[in-house]
Chain A
Amino acid sequence: DTAVSQTPKYLVTQMGNDKSIKCEQNLGHDTMYWYKQDSKKFLKIMFSYNNKELIINETVPNRFSPKSPDKAHLNLHINSLELGDSAVYFCASSQVGSRVHTEAFFGQGTRLTVV
């Protein structure tokens, strides 16, 4: 069983379209994340959700809207796609506590290409 799975793996779309990327984790973790890896391979956090509540929103354009229907899912919806949105998007999950920090598990990534 894949711990963190995201779909689709590849996504090619035209500028201006709206698209969604889905993420599911079966680890029972309470915190989920979206990261973006650009063409220079720099990994940057976009959002963090804890128990379905938004905890971190790192200066991401409001065209990006995360949705967490339950603790096991964190989907990413992107409106009006732009060329600069082309990147690999990674979903991750972990269990965060006040005294511990467990390992984060990452999905395999979604390579988004906007043409």
Chain B
Amino acid sequence: DAKTTQPNSMESNEEEPVHLPCNHSTISGTDYIHWYRQLPSQGPEYVIHGLTSNVNNRMASLAIAEDRKSSTLILHRATLRDAAVYYCIITGAGSYQLTFGKGTKLSVIP
């Protein structure tokens, strides 16, 4: 699975948009880009995933660069409940594992 690089931490004000970046320059053509988050004292939680096109769901949007070597998770209005560690994970379609890195710890300021 391709390696990912994320900032260790980010801060956001409540109710403002947050852009969480991820670099994955060694991604292959059939690899998926996944985002998970882990709230304090909870298990990881799926956020969104995509292959080539930008994706939207009720939780977030995923913007994928044209060359697919980077992506950005967009939270449109950060709430206190969004404070978590966000993991960007690259995996093949038939892969039997998610390889977690260190992720980005997002703090939301009231």
A interface, CB within 8 angstroms of B: 4, 31, 33, 35, 41-45, 48, 50, 55-56, 90, 92, 96-101, 103-109
Q: Given A90-B44, A92-B43, A106-B45, do A100 and B93 touch, yes or no (CB 8 Å)?
A: yes
Q: Do residues B43 and A109 form an inter-chain contact, with CB atoms below 8 A? A: yes
Q: Do residues B46 and A45 form an inter-chain contact, with CB atoms below 8 A? A: no
Distance between A61 CB and nearest chain B CB, rounded to angstroms: 19
The main secondary structure of chain A at its interface with chain B is strand
Cα(A43)–Cα(B32), bound, Å: 19
Q: Given A41-B85, A42-B100, do A103 and B95 touch, yes or no (CB 8 Å)?
A: no
Nearest B residue to A41, CB-CB: B85
B68 at the A/B interface (Cβ < 8 Å)?
Answer: no
Proximity string of chain B (28-46) to chain A, C-beta cutoff 8 Å, 1 when within and 0 when not: 0000101010100111111
Chain A residues with CB under 8 Å of B44's CB are 43, 90, 92, 104, 106
